Structure 1
């Protein structure tokens, strides 16, 4: 039985995957991307999905977002519409930064004055209060990603009476240089702490996962299964370094076993 269901458990769960399996194609050409994924994310929790390329991390996000349906298992959501942030900012080039942030609010029927106010607040939250009238080509890559984050938050937080806010992030900083990536990781943590949004963040970078996540979930190589989970301490603390080393070791084992 396959189902993706909205659930209104209040403060219990932002999203829950139970026995989720995803197979692409049929017959001898069928490829199983995920096999028996069990995962629960609490409201306000920051969870990082870690794994090698092709392990099914993005497939998990697509299923949670409702962009695809599982072949088996169930996905329960406390919101009917999670917000998604991709690797590319994907801003509308003909719209200003402020109008890009307003777009999900406009589509949801929010009145003009209210959506302008919310967009201004969110741009201020991501430290772009002076860039609202600029178009994407006038912004740096890091600034475009901050606009995309503000737009995703506009969507995620526009859910009054619709369960816990949920933000899905698919390697949003992977195309940026190291300095910009480090800055945006810090900004994301600040914004997450300010908004209390539940986050499922996909990455193949162990250091990024340990720095950002309260919990790191390691997926095996295809077909993707949950191999191990870690509660994450401060990355700069001694125990944080030990966790990072352990996760690196397990990730290498997963990759080596797949290659063998």
Structure 2
């Protein structure tokens, strides 16, 4: 079984899955207000894998929250041309009393998908993340890496479920440092698995990380944000056959410049 879009390689009907134009975000009021984002512009094409990179506190997670609709920008525009975005966080955040399969099935159940259809879809997604044999296990019976696979399957269940007008819109998956709490070996395995799953589904991905190597390994495009307040300062395309070692060095150098200039301000 596989979980794919009907035609993930077809030319999308829209030019972007999400577009942010001149987005500002402030928290608080008056002298105590904190400006998290200041004039951020970002386009993500349907099916594109974009990594947001930057120092801690630069607004990366704020960008995801705004795209997901969990918060509203103070100013600027966010145009969403995707189905409802699905979000995957650093912690798996699974329901401990539900089995792995029931956790994956939950967003489909909430969306009103029929029992038979969601059981079929859940089985496909667990197979896609290589957990076909553990659907009856609860989170405490799974390793950290396996729990993140379940969380990925659950996010895909939400991102790839489309109906009505949204059926023709591209899928969008938002990921906030989902592998940072895992050991190095498990992280490497799940990075490779994520690339495989992304290619299988055709979903657009916005992936937040502070790890330059992870960004270069995963992303088709790496977007560097300035230190707070966040705005895009530079982007790099990561094509097939790219010299990843050289690109990591280049981005690390630029990141250090951004952090140094902020500290000196």
TM bin (shorter chain):
over 0.9
SS at match of 2:243: helix
Instruction: Tell me the residue number matched to 2:116.
Output: 113
Instruction: Tell me the residue number matched to 1:51.
Output: 54
Query: Match for 1:250 among 245, 254, 257?
Result: 254
Query: Match for 1:151 among 150, 154, 178?
Result: 154
Instruction: Tell me the residue number matched to 2:212.
Output: 206
Query: Match for 1:34 among 37, 47, 52?
Result: 37
Instruction: Tell me the residue number matched to 2:171.
Output: 165
Distance in 2 (CA, whole Å) between partners of 1:59 and 1:10 is 28
Distance in 1 (CA, whole Å) between partners of 2:17 and 2:242 is 31
List per-residue Cα deviations over 1:17-48 (Å, max 9, x = no partner).
00000011111111100000100000000000
Displacement after TM superposition at 1:242 (Å): 1.9
Distance in 2 (CA, whole Å) between partners of 1:245 and 1:41 is 25
Displacement after TM superposition at 1:179 (Å): 0.1
Normalising by structure 1, report the TM-score.
0.94
Normalising by structure 2, report the TM-score.
0.92
Distance in 2 (CA, whole Å) between partners of 1:212 and 1:118 is 26
**Deviant stretches of 4+, over 4 Å:** none
Distance in 2 (CA, whole Å) between partners of 1:48 and 1:80 is 20
SS at match of 2:15: coil
List per-residue Cα deviations over 1:236-260 (Å, max 9, x = no partner).
x563222211101001111111222
Count residues in correspondence. 250
Displacement after TM superposition at 1:11 (Å): 2.9
SS at match of 1:12: coil
Distance in 1 (CA, whole Å) between partners of 2:231 and 2:91 is 27
Distance in 2 (CA, whole Å) between partners of 1:91 and 1:240 is 34
Does the CA-based 8 Å contact 1:83-1:168 persist in structure 2?
A: yes
List per-residue Cα deviations over 1:202-232 (Å, max 9, x = no partner).
0000000000000000000000010100001
Structure 1 runs not aligned, ≥5 long: 1-8
Q: CA RMSD in A?
A: 1.1
Structure 2 runs not aligned, ≥5 long: 1-11
Q: 1:1-260 to 2 correspondence within 5 Å?
A: 10-160=13-163, 161-162=165-166, 163-234=169-240, 237=241, 239-260=243-264
